[in-house]
Each structure stands twice: as C-alpha cells, then as structure tokens.
C-alpha cells in the first residue's frame, strides 16, 4: 500500500486559533481523506509550537508561566481540530520531552558535520515572526514580513552554515520544479536564494523559554543558549515520526508540507538546508496557500475583526464552513471571508443544488416506487446525461490531484446541475401520469448514481454530508467504492433508499454578530447587513481619538473594476495632493465604475496603506449602509477639503 505523510504548520500558542489556522488544517485533512480514498495509507501531523520569545512574552502578559499558558492554548487547538473532524494521527507539542531530545539530536548531528559554528549575531529581529533580518531588509525598524516593529539584538549565537547549501538548494529547485507550489511562490523562493544566503543564527541567549543546547557542545555556555524556535519547530516534522530512534522513512520519503505563504521561506529554504545537513530526503511537496482577510480587511486582534472558526462553525455548521473555505478561494490565492459570501454559498450551492436534489429524489422515490428503485436501462433512456458523467469525474480527479479543490468542486456541481436539470427536462411527474414507470425508474436511478458519485467525491471536503448522502443509498464511503463508482464510473442498478431529513436549510439572515460597530462603519468593504442602529451598542471614543482621523474630500478621477474580484473597485482619487492616490473599495456590487467618475467622496486619508488583491490601497472611502443597500458619502467641496 502506498504511504504518505502530510503536515500542517505547528501553530504558535501565543493566541487562540483563527480562520487561517482552520483553513490550513482543513486543507491538510482534505488531502489526507482524498489520498485515503485513492487507497493510500496517510499519516497527518499537526501540533503546536510552544517555545520562543513570543510565547514567553504572551505568557507573561497573561500572568502565567510559559508552560501553563502553552498548555491552555495548545488544548484549544487540539479540541478545535477534533471538533472540525480533522483526522490527525499525531498532535505534536514542541514542549513534549521526546521532541526536545530529537531537536537536540538534530543540532548535534549538524554540529558534528561541521555545519554549526559559534559567533556573534548582530542584526534585527521580529519577535512576532521569530525571524532575523539584515539592515538592508528593514525599513523604519519595521519587519518586512509583518510590518510590526523589530528589535535590534547583539548576542553570542551558534550559526548554521546556510550559505554552504545555496548551490545545492538552487539545484534542487531546478531538478524538482514541482515541489514548491504555486509556481509564482517558487520563483520568489529562487530569487531569494539567488540573491545570496547568509548563515542563520540558530540559538538565542537573551531568554530561557526553549530547548537547551545538547550537553557537551559548549560546556561553559550550554545553559545559556536555547535553540532558535524555528529550528525547534521544523524538527517536529521528523521528531513526530520517529527521528532520533528510527525515522519512519516509509512516510518521510513522501512528505507534503502545507503552509501559508507567510512561512514559505522557512519551509522551502531553511528546512531543506537543515535536511541536507542531516542527510535526510527532502520533502516531495510544499504547498503555500494565500491569506484570508475579513470583508476585505486584514484580520488583526487590535482591529477586533479576527474570524473565530468556532463561532462560524457553531453558527453555520462545520460542514458548510469547510465547504466555503475550500470552494471560495483558488488554493494559493488570497481569500476573503464575509458572512454574506458564506450565506450565499450555503443557500445556493448547498441548500439548492445538493439539498434539493436529494430531497426530490427521496420524495419521488417514496411517492412512485415506495423507495425501492431498480433499472438496468439508465444508459438506454438517458444516453446524453450518462455521457457527461465520466468527463466530469475525470476533471474532478485531475483538479484534486493538482490541489485545486475549488475547481474540483465546480466540476462536482456540474454533476449536481446535470441531475437537477434532468428532473426539470424530463418531468418525472408527467412521465408517471403517462404510465412511463420504466423511464421514471431509470431517471431516479440516474439521479441516485449522480448522488452516489458526488457523495464519494465530496467526502474529503464535507465528510459528514457525504456519509449522510451515501447512507440514503445504503452505500459506504471507502476506497473500493471510490475506485468502483468514481474511477471506473460503474453504475448501481438498484437501491432501496433510506430517507434522511433535508440537508442545509436556507439561511435568511446573518447568524453571527459582526466586528465592533466602529470597525464595521469604518470598513469600506463590509457589506453584511448590520443591525439597526437602535440595537447597536456603540463604543465611545474621546475627541482625541477622533482627531487622529484625517478625513478629506476626494474627487474620483478614474474608477474601474479589479480583475477577478467581485467586490473591489480601484479608484484614482484627487485629494488635493501633488499626485492622486489609488484607493480600493469593496463596493463593486453597488456601483458601476463609470457613474463614479467626477463624484466627490469622503476619504480617510491617513489610513495605513494596505495591499488588496496585490494592489496598494492608500485610504478608505466612506459609505453608509442599510437594508436597501449602500451609498457613498458625498460632499460638494473641492478636493482636499478637510472634514471635521
């Protein structure tokens, strides 16, 4: 049996899990379940990254010891994954003593190889990313990756001879062009390595929350140094499957890492270099996915707009949430969460397309055939429909193998539409009136077959829904059935249906509260219907807070849609400055770009610039929204006039 290994990132315990963590872990679980359907044995590792300065500081801020703090947050991650049906085989914690010993063994082995030497690290450090930077990478003391302030450090450190591996890394990227996905991220990695690698500081001394250096490396200083948290965390990928005693090479030789784009450098540069030093095989695949925002705005604790996955799941259900995350965004690209988009998906894709088809099948099978269906004539009566099934199943499998679940789901939905439209076209109720019982049975068997195939394919994405649909047809979801009914596209010829309650009732209004009203009204892209003002609890602010805002009148010079975005308009706005500003606003559903040119709008002019869909947005256009829609605020004053 083919074996493979999948890892999620080992998440920091400085804060509770959010939608981004849920997304990555659900993608890992989806891949595991899909490979299992293909008959593979798959081991999935997830866990928590519990050492380092960031965790030490967070624990202190919560008045707890780092261990107690890590224990409580790590437990939250674990229980969330259990709740989310994540089928992990090991939940590793970097504070597990077995892991710590493995990390020390790895350090020792690289040291013995001559790849580690002692020196002084002097440079910039971002505690939030736990990442080192050189002078050239840092502007205004800000981290080039996350934008938070960096600190400068000068301390004794052990260095890993990363530069020694530059050439071998470049050769590896060249020889294995399909390891790092997506391609444009691979190119960024190659450019980074080509620009020259500097040796990496892999121990810290200024604090103590970490794995100590192995005994005997540096007898006077052993107790002063702790392992750099990224070395510690990356090693968990091998310590989780036996490294130190006996690494499970049967798994490791087919390893897939799934990560967010923020940590690709660690996985595609440092990690393979460590593995080269340890003389271990390199990963087969490193998939880097995009970034989730909420209503077009970057999520952050300080703004208070972080999506809590548990809250979404409790309000809308885990299955719908899993579907939304995997359907809404092409893997590798950035995605946006909004309740509106989630509700649209539930009502149209889940309630209408799947829920209705299953209900109609059960209803008609009950009414006309007492739930027992049988027909060997599906092909004879419905050759056109049957001919469309195999290519759709083929495209589904290709998209899943290419890690494009959103395309795979589109193909699956074509199959559902085929079933729904067959009912509309052939009108079984009229066929029954004309005593065409044979062709009606064949039609219902066609629909049963479509639903069985959909259930088998849908299992990695929505395991419970898929199992329920299959249970109606008294089938189980397993690799034999996947091979039989999806890969071979065999048809069942009879079935006695077991009815279940309707799936996915329609959602009429948002079930979760939105971020704080202050954020909602400022957010230029929030479109979910907010509660009426009378029911809102306003957060009061002092005049000094209001004065921090620089509000200006702007005149729209140009406006156009952002390609591939349903929401964003791209504006060029005159604010009375030397050159116009580019501002993006999520109001494409409410205005045609042309009608906005020349309009006088209100702009938050001193908002920190952000990138949306890769485009810089230097400000925010104000609008008001009620049940009937959204309107831009407008003032007939000249460009640049101050609003106070």
Among 5, 21, 239, 450, binds ligand ME8 (CB under 6 A): 21
Residue 274 or 571 with smaller CB distance to ligand ME8? 274
Site for ligand ME8 in 102-141 (CB under 6 A): none
Residue 180 or 551 with smaller CB distance to ligand ME8? 180
Name residues whose C-beta falls within 8 Å of residue 244's C-beta, 6 or more positions apart in sequence.
Answer: 98, 101, 102, 105
Among 23, 84, 209, 270, binds ligand ME8 (CB under 6 A): 23
Closest CA to 419 of 390, 448, 439, 396: 448
Helix (H) or strand (E) holding 258: strand 255-260
Whether the CB-CB separation of 593 and 560 falls below 8 Å is answered with yes
Per-residue x/- track, 214-243, ligand ME8 (CB under 6 A): -------------------xx---------
With 0-12 CB in 10 A as exposed, 13-18 as middle and 19+ as buried, what is 640?
Answer: middle
Does residue 9 bind ligand ME8 (CB under 6 A)?
yes
Considering only 21-29, 399-407, 464-472, 525-533, which stretch makes contact with ligand ME8 by CB under 6 A? 21-29
Strands 372-374 and 494-496: antiparallel
* Residue-by-residue DSSP string for 427-463: -HHHHHHTT-HHHHHHHHHHHHHHHHHHHHHHTTT-H
DSSP conformation class of 134: -
The response to whether 176 counts as a known ligand-binding position is no
Return the biggest CA–CA distance within the chain: 94
Count CA atoms within 13 Å of residue 196 on its CB side. Answer: 4
Among 26, 73, 255, 259, binds ligand ME8 (CB under 6 A): 259
* Residue-by-residue DSSP string for 78-129: HHHHHHTT---SEEEETTSHHHHHHHHHHHHHHHHTT-EEEEEEEEEEETTT
Residue 291 or 590 with smaller CB distance to ligand ME8? 291
Residue 67 or 372 with smaller CB distance to ligand ME8? 67
Min. distance of Cβ 45 from ligand ME8 in angstroms?
A: 10
Residue 318 or 575 with smaller CB distance to ligand ME8? 318
DSSP conformation class of 212: B
Residue 297 or 299 with smaller CB distance to ligand ME8? 299
Min. distance of Cβ 291 from ligand ME8 in angstroms?
A: 4
Binding residue count for ligand ME8, defined by CB under 6 A: 18
Per-residue x/- track, 408-437, ligand ME8 (CB under 6 A): ------------------------------
The position carrying tokens 């990363």 is: 162
Min. distance of Cβ 127 from ligand ME8 in angstroms?
A: 12
Name residues whose C-beta falls within 8 Å of residue 615's C-beta, 6 or more positions apart in sequence.
Answer: 562, 570, 582, 584
Does residue 24 bind ligand ME8 (CB under 6 A)?
yes
Residue 262 or 377 with smaller CB distance to ligand ME8? 262
Strands 255-260 and 3-12: parallel
Min. distance of Cβ 328 from ligand ME8 in angstroms?
A: 12
CB-based closest residue to ligand ME8: 20
- What is the distance between the alpha carbons of residues 233 and 99, in angstroms, rounded to a whole number? 9
- Which token pair is 315? 């309000």
Sheet holding 151-160, edge to edge: 131-133, 116-126, 151-160, 200-201
Does residue 10 bind ligand ME8 (CB under 6 A)?
yes
Min. distance of Cβ 14 from ligand ME8 in angstroms?
A: 7
Crossing angle (nearest 10°) for helices 66-83 and 53-61: 100
Per-residue x/- track, 284-323, ligand ME8 (CB under 6 A): -------xx------x------------------------
Cα 467 to chain centroid distance, Å, stands at 24
Among 4, 5, 6, 20, binds ligand ME8 (CB under 6 A): 20
The response to whether 129 counts as a known ligand-binding position is yes
- What is the distance between the alpha carbons of residues 469 and 326, in angstroms, rounded to a whole number? 20
Considering only 9-17, 191-199, 352-360, 586-594, which stretch makes contact with ligand ME8 by CB under 6 A? 9-17
Among 262, 410, 528, 550, binds ligand ME8 (CB under 6 A): 262
Annotated binding site for Zn(2+): 126, 129, 143, 146
Annotated binding site: 126, 129, 143, 146
**Rule CB under 6 A: which residues touch ligand ME8?**
9-12, 20-21, 23-24, 49, 233-234, 259-260, 262-263, 291-292, 299
């Amino acid at each position: 049996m083919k074996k493979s290994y999948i890892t999620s990132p080992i998440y920091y315990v400085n804060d509770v899990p959010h939608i981004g963590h849920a997304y990555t872990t659900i993608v890992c679980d989806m891949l595991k379940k899909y490979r299992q359907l293909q008959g593979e044995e798959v081991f999935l590792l997830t866990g928590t990254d519990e050492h380092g300065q960031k965790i030490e500081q967070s624990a202190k801020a919560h008045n707890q010891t780092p261990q107690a703090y890590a224990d409580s947050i790590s437990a939250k991650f674990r229980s969330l994954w259990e709740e989310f049906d994540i089928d992990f085989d090991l939940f590793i914690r970097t504070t597990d003593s077995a892991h710590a010993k493995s990390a020390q063994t790895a350090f020792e082995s690289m040291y013995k190889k001559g790849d580690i030497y002692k020196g002084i690290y002097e440079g910039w450090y971002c505690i939030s990313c736990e990442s080192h930077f050189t002078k050239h990478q840092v502007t205004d003391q800000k981290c080039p990756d996350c934008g938070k302030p960096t600190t400068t450090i000068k301390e004794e450190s052990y260095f890993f001879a990363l530069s020694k591996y530059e050439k071998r890394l470049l050769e590896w990227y060249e020889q294995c062009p399909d390891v790092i996905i997506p391609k444009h991220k691979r190119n960024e990695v190659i450019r980074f390595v080509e620009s020259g690698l500097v040796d990496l500081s892999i121990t810290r001394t200024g604090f103590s929350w970490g794995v100590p250096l192995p005994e005997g490396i540096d007898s006077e200083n052993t107790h002063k140094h702790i392992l750099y948290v990224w070395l510690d965390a990356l090693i968990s990928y091998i310590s989780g499957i036996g490294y130190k005693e006996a690494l499970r090479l049967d798994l490791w030789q087919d390893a897939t890492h799934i990560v967010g784009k923020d940590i690709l450098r660690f996985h595609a540069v440092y990690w393979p270099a460590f593995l080269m030093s340890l003389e271990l095989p390199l990963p087969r695949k490193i998939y880097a996915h995009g970034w989730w925002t909420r209503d077009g705005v970057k999520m952050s604790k300080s703004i208070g707009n972080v999506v809590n996955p548990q809250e979404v799941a409790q309000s809308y259900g885990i299955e719908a949430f899993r579907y939304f995350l995997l359907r809404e965004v092409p893997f590798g690209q950035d995605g946006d969460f909004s309740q509106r988009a989630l509700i649209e998906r539930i009502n149209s894709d889940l309630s209408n397309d799947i829920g209705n088809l299953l209900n109609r099948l059960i209803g008609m099978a009950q009414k006309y055939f007492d739930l027992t269906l049988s027909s060997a004539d599906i092909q004879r009566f419905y050759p056109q429909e049957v001919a469309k099934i195999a290519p759709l199943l083929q495209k589904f499998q290709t998209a899943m193998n290419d890690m494009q679940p959103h395309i795979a789901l589109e193909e699956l939905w074509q199959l559902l539409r085929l079933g729904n439209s067959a009912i509309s076209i052939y009108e079984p109720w009229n066929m029954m009136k004309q005593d065409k019982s044979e062709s009606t049975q064949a039609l219902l068997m066609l629909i049963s077959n479509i639903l069985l195939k959909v259930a088998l394919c849908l299992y990695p994405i929505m395991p419970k829904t898929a199992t329920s649909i299959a249970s109606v047809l008294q089938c189980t979801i397993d690799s034999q059935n996947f091979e039989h009914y999806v890969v071979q596209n065999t048809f069942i010829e009879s079935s006695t249906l077991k009815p279940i309650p309707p799936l996915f009732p329609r959602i009429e209004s948002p079930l979760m509260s939105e971020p704080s009203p202050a954020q909602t009204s400022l957010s230029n892209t929030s479109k979910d219907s907010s509660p009426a003002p009378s029911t809102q609890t306003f957060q009061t602010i002092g005049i000094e807070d209001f004065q921090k805002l620089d509000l200006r009148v702007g005149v729209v010079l140009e406006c156009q849609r952002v390609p591939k975005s349903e929401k964003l308009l791209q504006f060029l706005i005159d604010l009375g400055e030397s050159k116009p500003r580019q501002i993006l606003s999520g109001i494409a559903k409410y205005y045609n770009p042309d009608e906005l040119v020349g309009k006088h709008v209100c702009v938050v002019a001193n908002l920190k610039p952000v990138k949306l869909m890769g485009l810089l947005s230097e400000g925010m256009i104000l609008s008001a929204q009620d049940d009937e829609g959204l309107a831009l605020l407008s003032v007939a004053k000249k460009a640049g006039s101050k609003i106070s």
